[in-house]
Amino acid sequence: MDERELLAGRFEEHRPHLRAVAHRMLGSFSEADDAVQEAWIRLSRTGGDEIGNLGGWLTTVVGRVCLDMLRSRASRAEQSLEGRLPDPVVGPEEGLDPEHQAVLADSVGLALLVVLETLAPAERLAFVLHDLFGVPFEEIAPMVDRTPAAARQLASRARRRVRGAAAAPEGDPGRQRRVVDAFLAAARDGDFDALLAVLDPEVVLQADLGPAAGVSRVVRGARAVAGQALTFARAARAPLPAMVNGAAGVVSTADGQPVAVLGFTVVDGRIARIDILADPDRLARLDLAFLNG
């Protein structure tokens, strides 16, 4: 085995972690894979002989690549991703594979990922790397051309935004599933009052339908969301239980094909947020092979 093969093997050991970092930064698996591939290209050019902490070096490289991608994204106003849901991590209720487990470390749900989409690129980098992956501010500071103290302030501002926008979700998967099942039963039966009982009065529903359908639709308030749930239940049948970003969720199917992934944020026994990815192109790129198992 030559040196390049050895280096490739060492890189593959870090790939799940790097993909998790990039997904948190970018909210897109395809872009995350691009960022990880760029890290490999840079490593293969540099070689690993002079790198003492390969995992730390690669995390820094991926962070820088993602920061550049976020800044480029922000500068392309004509391709604004406002209202676009991040790619969810979807898997069976039991037995996630190691790569999915790495991406789902710290149980980052869709609600948090949606908030991350609103942060400035440097704030997102500081928060993701420090708060979610434990990277010291001394290592983050050079990436954003700030002092460690200024990088700490970036993360602090992001943390306040996150805490203010995303209520602490229910942590017990069993309780989450019972609330979600009650919602699905009420929608299936057309029971408007039962839907209201399981929805938080200030519930928010966001549906990412794809560019052809206007990208995103946001509905606020229990009565409006209940009405949408009844409409959706008529259009999509056979909801299959799944874990969506570490929480109880659903893959809705019609004629055996996935038509939507639903993520739920349950707070104090009621559904506070529903995120629906129904963009056919993005659904086709998700790993939903477990549905056929």
What pLDDT digit, counting tens, does each position of 112-169 carry? 777 788 889 999 999 999 998 999 999 999 999 999 999 999 999 998 888 766 566 6
Residue 156: what pLDDT? 94
Residue 79: what pLDDT? 47
Q: Are 113 and 24 in contact (CB under 8 A)?
A: yes
Q: Do 135 and 34 sit in the same domain of this protein?
A: yes
Write the pLDDT tens digit of every residue in 15-32.
999 998 999 899 888 999
Mean pLDDT of 173-187: 91
Write the pLDDT tens digit of every residue in 54-97.
999 999 999 999 999 999 876 665 444 455 788 888 888 775 55
**Is it the case that residue 104 has pLDDT exceeding 70?**
no
Q: Are 133 and 59 in contact (CB under 8 A)?
A: yes
Q: What CATH number did the domain enclosing 236 receive? A: 3.10.450.50
Q: Do 161 and 270 sit in the same domain of this protein?
A: no
Residue 113: what pLDDT? 76
Q: Are 253 and 259 in contact (CB under 8 A)?
A: yes
Tokens read off for 288:
């939903």
Q: Give the count of beta carbons closer than 10 Å to the beta carbon of residue 213.
A: 13
Write the pLDDT tens digit of every residue in 213-235.
555 688 999 999 999 888 777 65
Average pLDDT, the chain: 84
Q: Which of 141, 165, 189 is at the close of a domain?
A: 165
Domain that holds residue 24: 3-165
Q: Do 158 and 74 sit in the same domain of this protein?
A: yes
| CA 143 from centre of chain | 23
Split into its structural domains, the chain has a count of 2
Q: Do 94 and 216 sit in the same domain of this protein?
A: no
Tokens read off for 271:
């559904």
Cα angle vertex 184, ends 178, 190, to 5°?
Answer: 135
d(CA 139, CA 144): 10
Tokens read off for 110:
């869709």
Q: Do 123 and 237 sit in the same domain of this protein?
A: no
Q: Do 150 and 270 sit in the same domain of this protein?
A: no
pTM attached to this predicted model = 0.75
> Residue by residue, what is the 3-state secondary structure of 63-121?
HHHHHHHHHHHHHCHHHCCCCCCCCCCEECCCCCCHHHHHHCHHHCCHHHHHHHCCCCH
d(CA 89, CA 129): 19
Position with higher pLDDT, 209 vs 235: 209
Residue 92: what pLDDT? 84
**Is it the case that residue 240 has pLDDT exceeding 90?**
no
Q: Do 99 and 137 sit in the same domain of this protein?
A: yes
